[in-house]
Amino acid sequence: MNRKTTIATVGIFAACLTLVAARVATQDGMISPGTTQADARKLLQAGNKRFVEGGMESHTWQQEQVVKTGAEGQIPSIGVLSCADSRVPVEIIFDMGVGDLFVNRVAGNFESQESSGTFEYGVHALGVHTIVVLGHTKCGAVSATLAGKPLPGNMGMLTAAIRPGLEQLIKEKGAKSEAALLDAAVEANVRFQMRQVDATSELLKKAHAEGKIQVLGAIYDVDTGKVRFLD
């Protein structure tokens, strides 16, 4: 990145942050600043509980939120790195709506320069303070990585990004049943990608070290609809 590009990028971020600060400081009729780091996990857990139990609320205020975010912009507090699997519609499983979540989706929910750049924008321009790496049971990309077979086209990049986090499990393949191995691999991938958030971005690593962001891990069960957060 050259000097002119760097200056322009910083200028864009600064302008966005100024707009966010102005909206947060205004008391009536403006978008709220969102949840805190301490409340982020509880907010998502409560939303998932509503989803599982059939008490979803987000649909009741969506039109109002569309109009508000369209006019005033977005200030999402929580970013999510999720798999592209159609069984994991992120906003729905957390009972969230327009403007609530800043979502990156890619098969295998792996961190990359592209997703890092997206989250850098979310953190530095929009106010994102929590990044959730969300895996799910029965993940095809993780299963393909365990199988170790060559994949056609660009699909090999998926397994290449996931494999480093599964090396130990791949060595111990015979010690677990196929289902247990896949469950363990899904969790191992989430934990590895959580570390990759810092490893692939100096900006996010610095923000994490300074406490400006937190990184959480979670796994969605495609059979029950429940989300389990990792400790």
So what's the pLDDT on residue 176? Answer: 79
pLDDT greater than 50 at residue 66:
yes
Q: What percent of the chain has pLDDT over 90?
A: 68
What's the pLDDT band for 21 if we cut at 50, 70, 90?
A: very low
Model confidence at 45: pLDDT above 50:
yes
The per-residue pLDDT for 71 is 67
Quote the pLDDT of residue 10: 44
pLDDT of amino acid 203: 97
Instruction: For 48-60, write each residue's pLDDT tens digit.
Output: 999 999 888 766 6
Quote the percentage of the chain above a pLDDT of 70. Answer: 81
* Predicted local confidence at residue 6, as pLDDT: 44
What is the pLDDT, as a whole number, of residue 64?
A: 73
More confident residue, 11 or 164: 164
Taking Cα atoms as reference points, which of 193, 185, 186, 200 lies closest to residue 216? Answer: 193
Ordered DSSP codes for the chain: --HHHHHHHHHHHHHHHHHHHHHHH--SSS------HHHHHHHHHHHHHHHHHT---GGGGHHHHHHHHHHH----SEEEEE---TT--HHHHTT--TTTEEEEE-TT----HHHHHHHHHIIIII---EEEEEEETT-HHHHHHHHT---SGGGHHHHHHHGGGGHHHHHTGGGS-HHHHHHHHHHHHHHHHHHHHHHT-HHHHHHHHTTS-EEEEEEE-TTT--EEE--
Q: What is the set of domains in the chain, with CATH numbers?
A: 32-229 (3.40.1050.10)
Cβ partners under 8 Å of residue 120, min gap 6: 201, 203, 204
Angle between helices 202-209 and 113-121 (to 10 degrees): 50
Each residue's pLDDT tens digit, 109-168: 999 999 999 999 999 999 999 999 999 999 999 999 999 999 999 999 999 999 999 999
